[in-house]
Amino acid sequence: MDKNQLQLTLQPKWKHPIVLATLFFIVNLLLRAIQLTKNPLSGDEPFTLYHGQMQPSMIVSELLKGNNPPLFELLLHYWIGWKDISLQWIRILPLIFSALTAFFLFLLANNIKKGYFPLIVSLIYTFSVYHLQFGQEVRVYSLFGCLAVISMWVFLKVWRDQATLKWWILLVIVNSCLIYAHYFGFFLLLIQTILIFSDASLLKKSIKKYVVYVIAIILLYIPLIPIILQHFVFNENGSNTWLAPASSVEDLYNMLWKFSNKPVVTVLGIAILLSAVVKYILSKDKKLNVEVKLLLVWFIVSFFGMFIISFKIPMYLDRYLIYGSFSYILLLVYALWYLFPTAKGQLITSAVLVVLFGATFSLHSPTKRNAPLISGEIAKAKKNGYSVILCPKEYVTNFVYYYNSDYFKLIDTEPSCKRMMEKLANENIYAVWNIEEVEKKGNKWLFVDVAASLTLPNNGIFDYLQAHYTLVKEELLDEVTKAYYFE
């Protein structure tokens, strides 16, 4: 076998990429389903599920008061309508989006580089703990990530191949959905705009279509434009967020750690990327093809751009960067292949990288809060005659989902959870922010502190109870929740 034949054997061309993409869809679907319900509902999942039960008009009006576009909750509303709000059912929706991401990521990677490249990229995605978590979470991020990959797949066809009008129409539809799913989708639109304007010859050929594309996006997004302006432009309180500002380059490392499963893989990934940069600087050929430009701009704007912005407007959070996380996987494998240009070298080094991701992969990443345990503790305390204080108030939907699902289905908007709170108050259970909100009835009290001592240090609940009652028992229910019994 001569060298050319060996190269062709080691780097095959997939005749039917759709078949392999479908295979990765099925593998990801099954893999992520294995422990789909092991983690209880937690974090912001109850908020999403609670709003998903509302009528579509209510979902839109309620979510637009905050920082969440309504697309995922609208989809969740109809998903719930087919069956129920059981954990087994609601978690299937993000699972499907996560598996679909594998499908389109294979197609995108195959359009970037042929051979085993899409296979390696898809395997790394499959063994990513970061993406597994979002595939098992009832939040928008699996949908957001899926739309980001589809968007880049369509965009590459439009930008590189000067695709027909139907692809431009598809790009309008996908990108409109993207920014209706999450406001940070605009970063991906910015990335694509930078790429279009980076090539004068391609811009000249597509400028008319691009202008029509922009106008179409604006027209489709008209309902949310006033909300965007209100939140991010004319906000009298500034563009503050609940996150802490970026502090140092350590934040960059920690983000790559999220993308890479474990520190050993993170360090290797950094070494690969830096080595590729050094090789490029020392090389004579400085020409970058369309695919490399796409990966570089995608990664730099999402990874470094949001980091820099976060010094002023904090936004550097792993879930917010999901749209850019795929650029890291693609760029990592591309850089590895750039460092090892022979087919044999690429195959061996890629196999090592996949093995490292596979060896550091886990099917389960436990949450810090255990709502079923907290609910059980409160139910047991109620039987023993205790009145209950639960703090902070935001945790009420998570608790009630396990305590009484009928209460969870009581939908209110002004104020939110009004009837749910009334039902709990009738049982002497008070979900509050501070002691002033508590009707001080009862001789025995259980105070459930769900990290309230950290998030609401001046709530005054423990101090009041300690001053008027005797602390008889203290228990740690999970990593962040303490139960204090007073009599």
- Between 242 and 32, the more confident residue is 32
> Residues 319-351: pLDDT tens digits?
999 999 999 999 999 999 999 999 899 999 999
For the segment 109-124, the average pLDDT, to the nearest whole number, is 95
> Residues 448-474: pLDDT tens digits?
999 998 889 999 999 999 999 999 999
Assess whether pLDDT exceeds 50 at residue 299: yes
Q: What is the predicted pLDDT for the residue at 233? A: 61
Q: What is the predicted pLDDT for the residue at 274? A: 97
Assess whether pLDDT exceeds 50 at residue 4: no
- Between 148 and 312, the more confident residue is 148
For the segment 122-149, the average pLDDT, to the nearest whole number, is 97
> Residues 221-230: pLDDT tens digits?
998 888 877 7
Assess whether pLDDT exceeds 80 at residue 377: yes
What is the rounded CA–CA span in Å between residue 210 and residue 198? 14
For the segment 308-314, the average pLDDT, to the nearest whole number, is 90
Q: What is the predicted pLDDT for the residue at 226? A: 83
- Between 280 and 13, the more confident residue is 280
Assess whether pLDDT exceeds 70 at residue 235: no
- Between 232 and 256, the more confident residue is 256
For the segment 423-446, the average pLDDT, to the nearest whole number, is 92
> What percentage of the chain carries pLDDT values higher than 90?
77
Q: What is the predicted pLDDT for the residue at 1? A: 41
Average pLDDT over the chain, rounded to an integer: 91
Q: What is the predicted pLDDT for the residue at 231? A: 67
Assess whether pLDDT exceeds 50 at residue 424: yes
- Between 14 and 474, the more confident residue is 474
- Point out the least confidently predicted range of 16-20, 149-153, 277-281, 388-392: 16-20
Q: What is the predicted pLDDT for the residue at 464? A: 95
For the segment 252-279, the average pLDDT, to the nearest whole number, is 96
- Point out the least confidently predicted range of 89-93, 159-163, 353-357, 432-436: 159-163
- Point out the least confidently predicted range of 37-51, 142-156, 180-194, 238-252: 238-252
Q: What is the predicted pLDDT for the residue at 5? A: 45
> For residue 450, what are the β-bridge partners?
481
Q: How far is CA 17 from CA 109, 156, 160, 167, in A?
A: 10, 17, 19, 19
Assess whether pLDDT exceeds 90 at residue 6: no
Residue 277 in tokens:
């940069």
Q: What is the predicted pLDDT for the residue at 364? A: 84
> Residues 55-97: pLDDT tens digits?
999 999 888 877 789 999 999 999 999 999 999 999 999 999 9
Q: Which of 439, 441, 447 is nearest to 395 (CA)?
A: 447
pLDDT-based confidence at residue 242 (cuts at 50, 70, 90): low
- Point out the least confidently predicted range of 101-110, 422-431, 437-446: 437-446
> Residues 196-205: pLDDT tens digits?
998 887 788 8
Q: What is the predicted pLDDT for the residue at 440? A: 80
Q: How far is CA 284 from CA 280, 281, 337, 339, in A?
A: 8, 8, 18, 15
- Between 373 and 64, the more confident residue is 373
Assess whether pLDDT exceeds 90 at residue 176: yes
